[in-house]
Amino acid sequence: MNPVGTVRPQPDPVVTDHDWPAVTVVVPVHGDRGELAKTAKALAALDYPGAVDVVVVDNGDNVGLEQSLAVLERVQVVRESTPGSYAARNAALAVASGEVLAFTDGDCLPRPDWLSEGVRQLLACDGPAFVGGAIELFPAVAGRASFAELWDCVNGLRQDHYVEDQGWAATANMMTLRSTFDRVGPFSAFLRSGGDREWGERATRTGVQAVFGATAVVDHPARPTMAELHKKVRRVTRGDVDKRRAAGTALYDRGELKGSLRPNVRSTVRTSARVSPGWTFDRVRYVAVGHWMQYYFVGAKFAHVLRTRRPGRAPHATVATPRAD
């Protein structure tokens, strides 16, 4: 069941050339070693009929940003010393001039019709809305996915699930009107992960519609190694714990914890069909890594809770009602 405020896209409006609003694309970048050049090339190839400018936020530890961005005609770089992609995105708002704000990441490859499709669906909405476009993950070498890439391609960045079932959108592919963003407020800059979910949930609580844009697509490389996948899990679980603490909610709920500790054999096998309908070697490898990742998530969350718990307070002292998601 879709949450209140979440809608399917409406029929496309007829948009003439002079109707297309100006768009500012926001791209936070940290630790770039050349991937941004591919993103810039993809942005330069957009077919959007209206005006587009790009704001890249240098969040530190980047090399050669100006050279990577040379292909873009309208681009500016701002610097944000506060670590974290949400603080970086907030910094872009001071110079963003577009009526529409479009967010993506420095390792994403927007398809040529990304903006035109996303803005078309945004304009079709009756009232304030944000569009979470599809995010397609791909391995570095087609047909030769690593263990990490197998898992990430199936489970990473499931935008349709985020938008339609949970009412938020990953900022690897999200766009909204500037007026809507100003209404909801900025991202929570203290969060190092999960700030897009916090913003989306805050938006839908105020009546903003969440729309899944299946045709507004960005491609995203899957994480190629288990070390990188583990790093992402630790970041995501830290964000979840920090968000719950900030909201004063339980760090665990009984149903979630029980489900996490029980081997999810049936679910993992069913999900593995996304790798291959038949029992190929890659499907068997996915089942193996799927079970490993289930328990790595649990361990990473426990580790962060224990490292950051308040003295004299048990991290599992409060139990909440299981969440619907």
Lowest mean per-residue pLDDT among 174-183, 197-206, 305-314? 305-314
Mean pLDDT in residue range 14-30: 84
Q: What is the pTM of this model?
A: 0.80
Whether the per-residue pLDDT at 318 is higher than 60: the answer is no
- Kindly indicate the confidence band of residue 208, based on its pLDDT and cuts at 50, 70 and 90: very high
Compute how many other C-beta atoms are within 10 angstroms of the C-beta atom of residue 240.
Answer: 19
- Kindly indicate the confidence band of residue 81, based on its pLDDT and cuts at 50, 70 and 90: very high
Closest CA to 44 of 75, 71, 77, 25: 71
> Which amino acid, residue 15?
V
Specify the pairing of strand 173-177 against strand 100-104: antiparallel
Percentage of the chain with pLDDT > 70?
90
- Residue 16 has a pLDDT of 53
Main-chain dihedrals φ then ψ at residue 110, nearest 5 degrees: -60, 140
Whether the per-residue pLDDT at 253 is higher than 80: the answer is no
- Residue 2 has a pLDDT of 42
- Kindly indicate the confidence band of residue 311, based on its pLDDT and cuts at 50, 70 and 90: low
Average pLDDT of the residues of the chain = 88
Pick 251 or 131 by higher pLDDT: 131
Greatest C-alpha distance within the chain: 63
Cβ burial 297-321 (10 Å sphere, 16+ → b, else e)? beebbbebbeeebeeeeebeeeeee
- Kindly indicate the confidence band of residue 317, based on its pLDDT and cuts at 50, 70 and 90: very low
Alpha-carbon gap, residue 259 to 246, rounded angstroms: 24
CB 118 within 8 A of CB 216: yes
Whether the per-residue pLDDT at 314 is higher than 50: the answer is no
The full 3-state SS of the chain, as one line of letters, equals CCCCCEECCCCCCCCCHHHCCCEEEEEEECCCCCHHHHHHHHHHCCCCCCCEEEEEEECCCCCCHHHHCCCCCCEEEEECCCCCHHHHHHHHCCCCCCCEEEEECCCCEECCCHHHHHHHHHHCCCCCEEEEEEEEEECCCCCCCCHHHHHHHHHCCCHHHHHHHHCCCCCCEEEEEHHHHHHHCCCCCCCCCCHHHHHHHHHHHCCCEEEEEEEEEEEEECCCCHHHHHHHHHHHHHHHHHHHHHHCCCCEEHHHHHHHHCCCHHHHHHHHHHCCCCCCHHHHHHHHHHHHHHHHHHHHHHHHHHHHCCCCCCCCCCEECCCCC
- Residue 325 has a pLDDT of 32
Phi-psi region of 110 (alpha: psi -120 to 50; beta: other; left: phi over 0): beta
- Residue 252 has a pLDDT of 72
- Kindly indicate the confidence band of residue 302, based on its pLDDT and cuts at 50, 70 and 90: confident
- Kindly indicate the confidence band of residue 263, based on its pLDDT and cuts at 50, 70 and 90: confident
- Residue 3 has a pLDDT of 44
- Residue 54 has a pLDDT of 98
- Residue 15 has a pLDDT of 57
Whether the per-residue pLDDT at 76 is higher than 50: the answer is yes
Closest CA to 65 of 37, 95, 103, 90: 37
CB 210 within 8 A of CB 168: yes
Pick 10 or 231 by higher pLDDT: 231
Give per-residue pLDDT as tens, 128-171. Answer: 999 999 999 999 888 889 999 999 999 989 999 999 999 999 99
- Residue 288 has a pLDDT of 93
Main-chain dihedrals φ then ψ at residue 260, nearest 5 degrees: -70, -30
Whether the per-residue pLDDT at 114 is higher than 90: the answer is yes
Q: Does CATH place domain 6-221 in 3.90.550.10?
A: yes
- Kindly indicate the confidence band of residue 321, based on its pLDDT and cuts at 50, 70 and 90: very low
- Residue 13 has a pLDDT of 52
Give per-residue pLDDT as tens, 55-66. Answer: 999 999 999 999
Residue ranges covered by each domain of the chain: 6-221, 226-320
